Amino acid sequence: MNIETARFNMIQRQVRPWNVFDPGILALLSVVRREDFVPAAYRELAFADIEIPLKAGAGPGQRMLAPCVEARLMQALAIRNTDKVLEIGTGSGHMAALLAAKAEFVYSVEIDPELVDQARRNLQKADVANVSVDLGDASLGWDLYAPYDAIVVSGSMPALPETLRRQIRIGGRLLAVVGEAPSMEARLIRRFDESGFGDEILFETMLAPLDNAPRREKFVF
């Protein structure tokens, strides 16, 4: 496989046609080497438009996001160089590396110890210094460094917990894929003031569920 040809084709034939027009995001996909964050067994699939398992016996939520989804999330978040960002679900560290290229600092939280170690190694090898990877369950948010200018959830959630919304700084935004198969939507939440939020549906997609994501309350008749 010619790595650079595969990368070019991913950007021009997969990502750009999926309504990713921001030249800064397209350029970023050329700079942050996706193949360096993919397990060796799946390296030849690094540029395929699929979710890639991150370890042997990986569960549904232990997969690397497809490149088109990563790019759309990055474009919608519009990260600034003064932003303090929370990523929920580190995986291999690739999304954290993309965020870190735009943000002041990224706090990433991963529930699986093996993936924490994998992400830390990958980020170190890529010389990404403005990311910390914590071990923990951030499915309801991560108070330790809150509030955040931007929050991104790297797995789907049946429902968006209020605790997570409350960790957005006023003027900040939260991006998550919300719903259950076969109906999920990428939603951008903006916080206008102490109690005011906007909720915009960006696109429909399917995403592996976040481990321990809170379930939607069921009505009982």
Residues 6+ apart with CB under 8 A from 10: 29, 34, 47, 49, 67
Q: How confident is the model at residue 218 (pLDDT cuts 50, 70, 90)?
A: low
Residue 219 has pLDDT above 70, yes or no: no
User: Per residue in 29-86, pLDDT tens?
Assistant: 999 999 999 999 899 999 999 999 998 776 767 889 999 999 999 999 999 999 999 9
pLDDT value, residue 62:
82
Pick the CATH number of 3-204 from 3.40.50.2300, 3.40.50.150, 3.40.50.300, 3.20.20.70: 3.40.50.150
State both tokens at 128.
């990404």
CA 33 to chain CA centroid, Å, is 16
Mean pLDDT confidence for 180-189:
92
Chain mean pLDDT for the chain = 92
Q: Which of 124, 123, 96, 117 is nearest to 108 (CA)?
A: 96
* pLDDT at position 221: 45
For 131-181, how does the pLDDT look when each residue is reduced to its tens digit (9 = 90+)? 999 999 999 999 999 999 999 999 999 999 999 999 999 999 999 999 998
Asked if 48 and 69 touch (Cβ cutoff 8 Å), the reply is no
Q: Which two tokens stand for residue 181?
A: 């198969």
**pLDDT of 63:** 87
Is a pLDDT exceeding 60 seen at residue 216? yes
Q: What is the pTM of this model?
A: 0.93
Q: 54 and 39 in contact (C-beta within 8 Å)? A: yes
